[in-house]
Chains A and B, each alone.
Chain A
Amino acid sequence: EAQVTQNPRYLITVTGKKLTVTCSQNMNHEYMSWYRQDPGLGLRQIYYSMNVEVTDKGDVPEGYKVSRKEKRNFPLILESPSPNQTSLYFCASSRGGFTDTQYFGPGTRLTVL
């Protein structure tokens, strides 16, 4: 089944404790992206990647890191999480081209205390 998977789905952590949220897709998609969703602010793009080793900042990259060492994986790294990073995070992928529908993962709900 074609899908985007994220792990963990739920995470409660404390300020300053490094964490990684994994994202994997099995559709051989070129593009991958991370978003955060906050009440009243909608979804905002954090980082995106157009191919292996090619990443770029979205609208809200501060406090996040990403890497794209393999085509299928695009982990989101919070080196020193803070309470303002409490949010619902979504990973997405797409094939590329004008008809590139974005496929979304199920989301990761992160709480930073």
Chain B
Amino acid sequence: KQEVTQIPAALSVPEGENLVLNCSFTDSAIYNLQWFRQDPGKGLTSLLLIQSSQREQTSGRLNASLDKSSGRSTLYIAASQPGDSATYLCAVRWGGFKTIFGAGTRLFVKA
């Protein structure tokens, strides 16, 4: 069965710290993996998408890596800011349009 797990479930860090969020998945035959941000009571904002053939993607202070063979992706956030506080979701797409989300990591960055 295809599953997606995110660790940790919650994280609290001081402003300025670099941090890593983890996403693991079963069944390495993925199509792509996408990281989202969700603010409380709001919709989802796409951060980065990594195709199955790629190893990493970068956007500003964010870097996402993908290791298909081990079934893992990490989202690296550099120099965290209070505005980064949100829930971060990892979504893995397999064949067709089947998509499974992880339960998310709730991040709190203290000023």
Residues of B within 8 A of A101 (CB): 34, 46, 49
Q: How many A residues, CB 8 Å from partner?
A: 27
Residue of B nearest to A6 (CB): B43
Chain B contact patch, size range: 20 to 34
Return A56 CB to nearest CB of chain B, in Å. 7
Q: Are A90 and B46 in contact (CB under 8 A)?
A: no
27 pairs, CB–CB < 8 Å, chain A vs chain B: A31-B97, A42-B101, A42-B102, A42-B104, A45-B98, A45-B99, A45-B100, A48-B98, A48-B99, A49-B97, A50-B97, A58-B98, A98-B32, A98-B51, A98-B53, A99-B49, A100-B32, A101-B46, A101-B49, A102-B99, A103-B46, A104-B36, A104-B43, A104-B44, A105-B43, A106-B43, A107-B43
**A-side interface residues toward B, CB under 8 Å?**
31, 33, 35, 40-45, 48-50, 56, 58-59, 90, 94, 98-107
